[in-house]
Amino acid sequence: MKTITIGSDHAGYGLKLKIIDHLKNDLGWDVIDVGTDNENSCDYPVFADAVCKNIQNGVTELGILICGTGIGMSMAANKHRGIRAAACSDVFSARLTREHNNANVLCFGERVVGYGVACDLVDAFLGATFAGGKHQRRVDQITALEETER
């Protein structure tokens, strides 16, 4: 069985619960939920960090982050070495970010997409595989940027 790590801030909490249900009951994934556990105001970088650390430490290969727009989560996630997070609000982008960019974190916003679209994004992201080839060269260039910026 595949396992994924998921996290949200208060603005993504309600949708996160529904996505966890979709992952478990419709797709058969195990889910590690790193929080938040309620709708009280909190800071999204904390949860982006927890999801990314699980990926960096090999606990899971993929993650999902949900906030109000998905943008803040993706910005925080992309500060982590080896993380390629993409904020997506359409299925085409969610699929291609895996196929072309080998993204390992999908981000979206509860204030931007509804439950149906969110499920479609998750399905497209998890159903896609990295195409390699010329795309590997480009992902390698992204990785090289991490080395030069330290």
Active site residue 52: no
Which pair of structure tokens corresponds to residue 57?
């430490």
Q: Assess whether pLDDT exceeds 90 at residue 108.
A: yes
pLDDT for residue 149 is more than 90: no
**Domain map (residue ranges) of the chain:** 3-148
Q: What is the model's pLDDT at position 97?
A: 98
User: What is the spatial distance between Cα 94 and Cα 106, in angstroms, rounded to a whole number?
Assistant: 7
Given 52, 67, 88, 107, the catalytic residue:
67
Asked about 67 being catalytic, the answer comes back as: yes
Q: What is the pLDDT of residue 150?
A: 59
Which strand (E) or helix (H) includes residue 108?
strand 105-109
In terms of Cβ atoms closer than 10 Å to its own Cβ (0-12, 13-18, 19+), residue 17 is middle
Is 1's pLDDT higher than 70?
Answer: yes
For domain 3-148, say whether CATH 3.10.20.740 is its number. Answer: no
Examine residue 129 and say whether the peptide bond preceding it is cis (omega within 30 degrees of 0): no
Q: Choosing from 22, 42, 100, 135, which is the catalytic residue?
A: 100
Residue range 75-100: average pLDDT? 98
Percent pLDDT > 70 in the chain is 99
Mean pLDDT on 13-35:
98
Backbone angles phi, psi at 107, to 5 degrees: -120, 140
